[in-house]
Chain A
Amino acid sequence: MAHSTDSVFINLGPVHPSTHGVFRMRAHIDGEVITDIEPVFGYLHRGIEKLAEGKSYRQVIPLTDRLDYVASMNNNLAYCMAVEKLAGIEVPERAVYIRVIMAELQRIISHLLGIGSFFNDMGTFFTPFFYMFIQKEKITDLLEMVSGQRLLFNYMRFGGVSHDLPDPFLPALSQFLREMPAEIDKYERLLKENEIVLARSRNVGVLSREMAINSSISGPVLRASGVNWDIRKADPYSCYDRFDFDVPTGSNGDCYDRYRVRIEELRQSLRILEQAVSKLPKGKVINPVPLRFKPPVGEAYSHIEGNKGELGFYIVSDGSDKPYRMHVRAPSLLNLSALREMLIGWKLADAIIIFGSIDICLGEVDR
């Protein structure tokens, strides 16, 4: 490995405080500037897709919780929708609305954690992170009221949801919806026009529109580059076509735009939640499906707008009660395919910020 005299080969290894888990990058650094970088994956590869082939359809739901462990409601929703599409199961009206409420609450949690750790990488020593964590704890209480778990919920079933909403849920949710916008304005006051935040993240790690589309990037990172592509609008699923909300997009695709897109998406999720709560119909919450049910032979692909991007499940069934093949379209892994173009040429401190602004979850990258 001949490398120039003063370029140092360094590896921001798996045990590193700011790599969001066990992500590793081998970097060539020339003084302060990164000349080349090679990401190394696989430190959290648990073989979920192989395990799913050995479990029945119902047993796979807890496995999907652990894919993107910050967005377990969305993972459940995408998997259950794929199996329902495969087997043609109908979902009652109230369950569809409950699913949308849970998915949007989970999106708020995931964005809060993404923005919080982005500012942690920038060096604000946990203060915005803990302010956002207070709101996250409030949502965690709501979701714990519904599913009994704090992080990995295992709440959705084929044909609906496992439990109906307990009585104190709706008043608590509307109380949360009343106070959340003020909290978002509080974050904005500290961080929106902060001179150092602007200096560190404006025009840093720019991802052009063509490179984003060509590298099949999805979610807030794609929208920050100016592409107006949101599955909830492009290919509406469950009942998103009954709510009106808009899709925030950035202008020049740098770290600051990704942060702005995520903050705006928080506000849009609140709008959706208000409309969903007001239109929540009555009725049963599940069309029960036998425990060991056998879907017809065939395949189905269904995708939703997860919080990291387009989360899709491709399921092939051979008529038995175990899925023949389950593939997960992991937005976190695909959002990293443009990582090298975004990092090379920037300084080490920028690389950490750019990586933080992509906001990946290692459970989904390595599956």
Chain B
Amino acid sequence: MAELILFPASIRSELPFGFWLHLAIFAIGIIAILLTSVIIFIWFERRLVGRFQLRKGPNRAGPFGILQSVADVIKILTKEDIIPSRADKFLFWLAPVIAFSPVVVMLAVVPVAGGALLADLDIGILFIIAMSSITSLGIFTGGWASYNKYSLLSSMRVVSQLVSYEIPLILSLVGVVMLTGSLSLDEMVNAQNVPFILLQPTGFFIFFIASLAEISRSPFDLLEADSELVAGYNIEYSGMKFATFYLTEYCEAIVLSTLTATLFLGGWQGPWLPPLVWLLLKITLVFSIIVWIRATLPRLRIDQVMGFAWKFLLPLAVLNILLTGSFVAFWPEAPSWMIGIANLVLLIGYILFRSRFFKPGGVTVGAS
């Protein structure tokens, strides 16, 4: 019954212009769901960070402050938007669009209850990886076009960080692809009778940390490291263009939580509750871990961030590929707990081995 309501994939063929109907329903549906969930998650994060700091978050606007983000949207929608005189006007306007749209598009292939949200691409993972690399382009265009020293320096750093963390992000998914034997996300979710986090702990470890760096959240938030370069790349943006960058950051956080939930925590599968509720629960769990890390950990310096990606995560990702590959190639019918244990041993062994080089504080992280 759930399939019929959520995924009238069957209606696509019967109804005369079912294709267009399907497109209309789900395109508007994805954008609406994403925007409302962004508003809710902004409020959720401010309340959660408030609880971490032993204070109440926003609770005056509406019951429990739920309308706080709505007020933010209304205010920033009607804020004057300033265009710097010596900025590169066209790129200045284009940057938020390039940064925001790929993040929304990534949701099209996320599987919910049996079928993908919009289009069940059989190369789902490659599509997501391609889209996730366009956002850094938009951020750099914004930084360069606004003719400001701070934003230029900050966007240079941001691009190097995003570029460096894409490689471990992509390589960490190869293990998952090997275990499922297909690129489509739907297959991956169905293949997860045992959630991949147990089978692929290294993959999850690298994916989660690399995605933290992709959305430039706490230990790696060079993006708007306001203690260093004032407000990062979006200094000159005000009003709706700044809000679009702000939206991009939160949409990326939600999309990457969805990916972590889908690829490693078993997507929409779950015993009692309907599938959509399971997916939302897992997304909220991953998002609150991200907020928890943001509220506690200090920020790493740019050269440590880069060193961490190139010298720590990349070798670990290659080792993970070799280990999982050898299992799948030589011993396909190995029991799943055996694969999981081997992976865990690899992860812990690698960390202990490498940490001999990084004595606490003796040698800075990243410099071997």
Q: Do chains A and B touch in the complex (CB under 8 A)?
A: yes
Alpha-carbon separation in the docked complex, A16 to B52 (Å): 26
A127-B295, A349-B225 are known contacts. Are A199 and B365 too (CB-CB below 8 A)?
A: yes
B298 and A197 form a contact (CB under 8 A): yes
Main secondary structure on B side of the interface with A: loop
B227 and A17 form a contact (CB under 8 A): yes
A195-B360, A256-B361 are known contacts. Are A122 and B298 too (CB-CB below 8 A)?
A: yes
List B residues 285-328 near A (Cβ within 8 Å).
Answer: 294-304
Alpha-carbon separation in the docked complex, A239 to B54 (Å): 39
Instruction: Kindly provide the distance from the CB of B188 to the nearest chain A CB, expressed in whole angstroms.
Output: 33
- Interface size on A (CB < 8 Å)? 37
Instruction: Kindly provide the distance from the CB of B208 to the nearest chain A CB, expressed in whole angstroms.
Output: 16
Alpha-carbon separation in the docked complex, A190 to B358 (Å): 19
> Is the C-beta of A348 less than 8 angstroms from some C-beta in chain B?
yes
A352 and B54 form a contact (CB under 8 A): no
List A residues 6-31 near B (Cβ within 8 Å).
Answer: 8, 10, 16-18, 29
> Is the C-beta of A289 less than 8 angstroms from some C-beta in chain B?
no
| Binary contact track B214-241/A, C-beta < 8 Å → 1, others 0 | 0000110100011111100000000000
- Interface size on B (CB < 8 Å)? 35
A125 and B54 form a contact (CB under 8 A): no
Nearest residue, chain B, Cβ from A351: B228
A347 and B302 form a contact (CB under 8 A): yes
Q: Which residues of B contact A131 (CB under 8 A)?
A: 53-54
> Is the C-beta of A32 less than 8 angstroms from some C-beta in chain B?
yes
B364 and A123 form a contact (CB under 8 A): no
Q: Which residues of B contact A234 (CB under 8 A)?
A: none
Instruction: Kindly provide the distance from the CB of B252 to the nearest chain A CB, expressed in whole angstroms.
Output: 18
List B residues 313-368 near A (Cβ within 8 Å).
Answer: 358, 360-362, 364-365
Q: Return the contact of A350 from the options B153, B295, B301 (Cβ within 8 A).
A: B301
> Is the C-beta of B89 less than 8 angstroms from some C-beta in chain A?
no
Nearest residue, chain A, Cβ from B150: A10
Instruction: Kindly provide the distance from the CB of A153 to the nearest chain B CB, expressed in whole angstroms.
Output: 26
> Is the C-beta of B56 less than 8 angstroms from some C-beta in chain A?
no
Alpha-carbon separation in the docked complex, A49 to B130 (Å): 64
A119-B298, A130-B54, A347-B302 are known contacts. Are A125 and B218 too (CB-CB below 8 A)?
A: yes
Of B54, B228, B230, most buried by chain A (CB within 10 Å of CB) is B228
Q: A197-B298, A198-B360, A199-B365 known; 15 other A-B pairs, CB under 8 Å? A: A8-B149, A18-B228, A32-B303, A122-B227, A124-B296, A125-B49, A125-B218, A127-B295, A127-B296, A131-B53, A193-B360, A200-B299, A202-B362, A203-B361, A349-B228
Q: Can you report 25 A-B residue pairs in the complex whose CB atoms are below 8 A from each other?
A: A8-B153, A10-B153, A16-B230, A17-B227, A18-B228, A32-B157, A32-B303, A122-B227, A123-B227, A123-B298, A125-B294, A125-B295, A127-B53, A130-B53, A193-B360, A195-B360, A195-B365, A196-B299, A197-B298, A198-B361, A199-B300, A199-B361, A199-B364, A201-B361, A348-B153
